[in-house]
Structure 1
Amino acid sequence: MTKPILSGSTDEGSARRRQILEIAAQLFAKKGYRGTSMRDIGEQAGVLGGSLYHHIKSKDALFVELHNAALDGAEEQIAKAVGAQSDPWAKLTAACATLLDIQLAPDSLTTPMMNDFREVPDDVRKQLIARRDRFEGLFRSLVEELSLPPHIDRSVYRNLLLVQLNGMADWYRPGRLTPGEMAAQIVAVFRHE
């Protein structure tokens, strides 16, 4: 069962909207932006055409809302994990482990939502990139705190780290190492240990 990515009040209209959003998120994760239509969402949710637009403004707005909600949830979890640490390297490890826990969960909606930028219209892509850049600010701050050799460009360092973390879902298989152990390995490599 997929964990809800949106929360809010519990009145009937809000509950119905959240249900529609969860169904839409699952469809986008499974079929991609282009492969998911408003009709698909309505059919899965048991909502007829016009009624769906009572809950959802447009496919584009829906995708942006779901993408942002996924990042908001991830950002909150990472900030909490980082806040429990004091050492800069422990903070980075906690951030990496939390991000991998989120992305590598079997029911993760975050990775599919983050990797669908090529299929969306340009105006939607700009919104998604702006929100992703704000999310990556967490890692920018963490990298700034690290004791790195002066010749290391922190922007390149951060981007290489994020590419590694974001690409993990393509090749990671559960078994030998947990996501937390993988995060520790990645940080050890980036720390040159």
Structure 2
Amino acid sequence: MSPLRPRPKQETTEKPATSPRPARGKGGKNRREDILRAAGTLMAAKGYDATSMRDISAAVGMLPGSVYYHFPSKEALFVELHNDVVQTMTARVLAALEGVDDPWERLRLSARAHLEGLIQNDNLVAIVSPQFIGGEKEVAQVVTDHRRTYEQIFRDIFEALNLPEGADPTILRLGLFGSLNWVPVWYEGDGRRSPAEISDQFVATLKSAYAA
């Protein structure tokens, strides 16, 4: 895996801030977190390529050179953003699975945690998509490594299901992910179905078809 190489800062000629510690926003909040949050919102809405460091700096009320103080390039910013998103999702799923041994129940709870995480922050849907960063090969390799641990949780769960002969756990896993990841596109939060009810129904359908 090649290290990320910062691109030339063509968007501004301002020198990065030289303060020895990150600037603080209102209420003492770390501006680095503000930048990541703004970048996630903008990139999810506009796409990776269409979001510039200047756009991000404007969203947080900073000069572009000050954003470069925190992140040397847009690639580096996205890598940290993606890592934060995946770690948050991983922690959510692992917490839901704690103390649970039954494979089907583990699948139900992990699917629920995954979908609830997506619904609560719809930036996640776009940002964690393998296609999100397009032709940025170096970045793509890094973020693929980020997702590996998270995806392994679900691989292990499907492998433990004792599926009938001929059932492919990889196909079933990817099909479930596809269904869950599509929900935020049409989900309106009108109260008729909660994310938990939706994910439970997806898993119940799988269980009725494939449980031994």
Classify the TM-score, shorter chain: 0.7 to 0.9
Q: Which residue of 2 aligns with 1:112?
A: 126
Determine the C-alpha separation between the residues in 1 that align with 2:182 and 2:122: 14
1:33 and 2:37 equivalent?
Answer: no
Determine the C-alpha separation between the residues in 1 that align with 2:144 and 2:31: 29
RMSD of aligned residue pairs (Cα, Å): 1.9
Shift, 1:67, TM fit: 1.0
Q: Which residue of 2 aligns with 1:179?
A: 195
TM norm structure 1: 0.85
User: Which of the pair is proportionally richer in helix?
Assistant: 1
Deviation per CA, 1:60-92: give whole Å up to 9, x if none. Answer: 111111111101000001000011423211111
Q: How does 1:14-163 map to 2 (within 5 A)?
A: 15-105=30-120, 107-115=121-129, 117-119=132-134, 121-163=136-178
Percent identity of paired positions between Structure 1 and Structure 2 = 34
Shift, 1:120, TM fit: 5.0
- C-alpha spacing 1:118/1:24, structure 2 compared with 1 (3 Å): closer
Determine the C-alpha separation between the residues in 2 that align with 1:16 and 1:161: 37
Greater Rg by CA: 2
Counterpart contact for 1:70–1:109, Cα < 8 Å: no
Which structure 1 residue ranges, 5 or more long, are not aligned? 1-10
User: Aligned partner of 1:63: which letter?
Assistant: F
Which structure 2 residue ranges, 5 or more long, are not aligned? 1-20, 25-29
TM norm structure 2: 0.78
Determine the C-alpha separation between the residues in 1 that align with 2:132 and 2:123: 14
- C-alpha spacing 1:60/1:99, structure 2 compared with 1 (3 Å): same
Query: For this pair of structures, how many residues does the alignment match?
Result: 182
Partner SS for 1:97: helix
Deviation per CA, 1:25-80: give whole Å up to 9, x if none. Answer: 22112221112100011112222122221111110111111111101000001000
Partner SS for 1:117: coil
